[in-house]
Structure 1
């Protein structure tokens, strides 16, 4: 009987050790401390490989028409068709527009691009009172690691929150390390890496943690998942296996 007692104790310790604590799982545990805090937003800057939709208007649509890119879309106005007919930002940060030719847009926000093009149209005596709208068509981010639906995720907004991004990926798994989620971003030719603790709400005050075009989110697995070589999906699975082994041992002992 005693020779079976030690394995049972060992399995119980394994079960306890495999349990993930509430502090490791729950999001924004100090959220009340940041209630009514000021929200700060910064507009993302346009970068190479962005696809822009730029519409130029005027009181007289006829005089504005030559400044707009036209394409044969067969009446289709889907996002995919707009991307195919949009302005692709080249590696130097430029786009080629009708009549205006090369326009430097890299490093500018969409609002800055609107102002720049409008000023050129007026200063170069093309239009008197034009309207300009600029929008990025191919916003996307990549999320990898311990999420239920990893991959490349498109979004139509100028930027989204980190929680929005995790929601689009189907939430984190039980094996995810929530205290150190990595956010990789390229800005002005430099690669930046941010570390976010999702168990605290303090990061929500930092505008850098809003997801922008081409961001990459990495969610690492906890030690239990890593040491198991991926065989263990979450702590609940460990508890099930341990309970089954314990039941088998008890059955052997009783017989």
Structure 2
């Protein structure tokens, strides 16, 4: 009887801890309704050193535009992204690319849209084309995600930028041991390293354009204290609490 009195409060505490952890630390965007109909803000990423660019130049007369284009080899009429990367324009540490006829063009620090304008102006002002079309696209967009996700690693994406939730989805979601209130986003901008801290349990960050994932971003998801203290042996702390509570409940029944 004495053991029952001791074990019963322990079981209740464990069940309460399991419930509290699930609601306060596990759920995403708990106040999402508060930010419904909020404005979306986008910021176009800037071209960085080591980016690989695909640049297409067109004209009413394709023949006069042809010398300005680099055409990658194709297989069965289709060109793979990897082949385009090999023939693309690599941005130097100084932010320059080397184009046919135009030679050196500085694009580092520009958005792809601004790079298009700059190349178009040079083609017109230097008398090469009268009314050209220019398209600039970054081919090697990727981000790195490390820590408490189900599929960590380097992940490629084809869009100009993606949301943080998209990135987590590509990494097969966070593990149960992940700290959702302090996701670290590391980014290099203009030679400086910036670190952002994001709380996924609230939706307050979603309208901030800085929190969209860009080329070369690094996302770090830290483990909670339970996993750290266990040396990583505990994969699912909520499940451990549930099993412990269940075992103590069985012991109570046996004692009774």
Listed as ranges, the matches of 1:30-109 within 5 Å are: 30-74=31-75, 75-109=77-111
Number of the residue aligned with 2:119 = 117
Shift of 1:245: 4.7
The runs of 5 or more residues in structure 2 that have no matched partner are none
**What is residue 209 of structure 1 aligned with on the other side?**
211
Aligned counterparts of 1:23 and 1:248: Cα–Cα separation in 2: 28
**Does structure 2 retain, via aligned residues, the 8 Å contact 1:144–1:217?**
yes
Please report the TM-score for the alignment, with normalisation by the length of structure 2: 0.90
In the alignment, is the contact (CA less than 8 A) between 1:140 and 1:215 conserved in 2? yes
Give the Cα–Cα distance (whole angstroms) in 2 for the partners of residues 251 and 152 of structure 1: 50
Structure 1 residues 22-41: Cα deviation after superposition (integer angstroms, max 9, x where no partner): 02111111111111111111
- 1:235 aligns with 237
Tell me how far apart the structure 2 counterparts of residues 190 and 141 of structure 1 sit (CA, whole Å): 17
Aligned equivalents of 1:220 and 1:36: distance in 2? Answer: 31
Contact kept, 8 Å, 1:18 with 1:224, in 2: the verdict is no
Residue aligning to 2:28: 27
| More divergent stretch after superposition (241-250 vs 116-125) | 241-250
How big is the shift at 1:237? 2.8
Cα distance in structure 1, aligned partners of 2:205 and 2:146:
20
TM-score, normalised relative to structure 1 = 0.91
**Equivalent-residue separation in structure 2 for 1:251 and 1:24 (angstroms):** 31
Structure-2 separation of matches of 1:96 and 1:102:
5
* Cα deviations by residue, 1:142-193 (Å, 9 ceiling, x for unpaired): 1111111111111111011111111111111222111111100000000000
**Contact 2:73–2:83 (CA<8 Å) still a contact in 1?**
no
Distance of 2:59 and 2:185 partners within structure 1? 42
**1:7-47 Cα distance to aligned partner (Å, 9 max, x none):** 67556645644551402111111111111111111100000
CA contact 2:185–2:219 (8 Å) conserved in 1: yes
RMSD between aligned alpha carbons?
2.1
Greater displacement, 98-107 / 167-176: 167-176
Deviation at 1:131, TM superposition (A): 0.6
Alpha-carbon distance between aligned partners in 2 of 1:236 and 1:197, rounded to the nearest angstrom: 20
**What is the rounded CA distance, in whole Å, between the counterparts of 2:32 and 2:239 in structure 1?**
30
Deviates more, 1:57-66 or 1:8-17: 8-17
The number of equivalent residue pairs is 254
Shift of the 44–34 alpha-carbon distance from structure 1 to 2, 3 Å rule, reads same
Provide the secondary structure at the position in 2 that maps to 1:203.
Answer: coil
Measure, in 2, the Cα distance between the counterparts of 1:56 and 1:188: 28
CA distance in 1, matches of 2:202, 2:39: 17
Give, in angstroms, the shift of residue 250 of structure 1: 5.6
Task: Find the aligned partners of 2:27 and 2:54 in 1 and give their Cα distance.
Answer: 40
Which of residues 185, 191, 196 in structure 1 aligns to 2:193? Answer: 191
